[in-house]
Amino acid sequence: MQLSGRGVICVRGGREVFAGLDFEAASGEAVAVVGRNGSGKTSLLRLIAGLLIPAGGTIALDGGDAELTLPEQCHYLGHRDALKPALSVAENLSFWADFLGGERLDAHESLATVGLDHATHLPAAFLSAGQRRRLSLARLLTVRRPVWLLDEPTTALDVAGQDMFGALMRDHLARGGLIIAATHMALGIESRELRIGAVA
């Protein structure tokens, strides 16, 4: 499986953010997208996820599931956690599993892996920032998708949380998945760097 972009142009609010961007990532590979604030890292993830339309160029996944679109094979984890505060931890996860569709794995197991099995009935409004991030990560485990698009994924995670997340990413890569992560910090796993925009 190979994700590739050729000559990708990103325009936001009528302004060109980047142009002529080429990139690729193969099964088992993590790519860290780096660049100064506003260089278009989040925008690139959103283009791959189908949440924005490129103003030019192409983005394609070769060797994936021919019956599914690229966005249907992606998990997009934005830097906001996309949780409903009034719903419990378990209900939030169930909402995402229903929304994303496809085969779902055991939710309790996912919550145990991210260290939230003691809090399944707690409203998401009561979670700490790191716990909210952990609940978002549980989504990646409950519904399997090969392409993980992660925006500043380690934000708010403590050292143990970063170690746990490093293990999850390594496991995902070992299963043949791929990861594109926008980050200002070390990702915590071996990765290739994709620099966008002018060097700061």
Question: Which residues make up the interface to ligand ATP (CB under 6 A)?
Answer: 12-13, 17, 35, 37-43, 182
Report the alpha-carbon distance of residue 82 to residue 121 in Å, rounded: 18
Closest approach of ligand ATP to the CB of residue 55, in Å:
12
Residue nearest to ligand ATP (CB): 13
Q: Which is nearer to ligand ATP, 33 or 107 (CB)?
A: 33
Closest approach of ligand ATP to the CB of residue 107, in Å:
30
Q: Which is nearer to ligand ATP, 13 or 101 (CB)?
A: 13
**30, 23 Cβ separation under 8 angstroms:** no
The tokens describing 110, both together, are: 């996912």
Report the alpha-carbon distance of residue 108 to residue 113 in Å, rounded: 9
Closest approach of ligand ATP to the CB of residue 42, in Å:
3
**135, 81 Cβ separation under 8 angstroms:** yes
Backbone φ and ψ of 75, nearest 5°: -105, 125
Q: Which is nearer to ligand ATP, 118 or 195 (CB)?
A: 195
Report the alpha-carbon distance of residue 55 to residue 19 in Å, rounded: 9
Residue type, 11: V
The tokens describing 91, both together, are: 């209900």
Closest approach of ligand ATP to the CB of residue 148, in Å:
17
Closest approach of ligand ATP to the CB of residue 39, in Å:
4
Q: Which is nearer to ligand ATP, 45 or 127 (CB)?
A: 45
Q: Which is nearer to ligand ATP, 113 or 136 (CB)?
A: 136
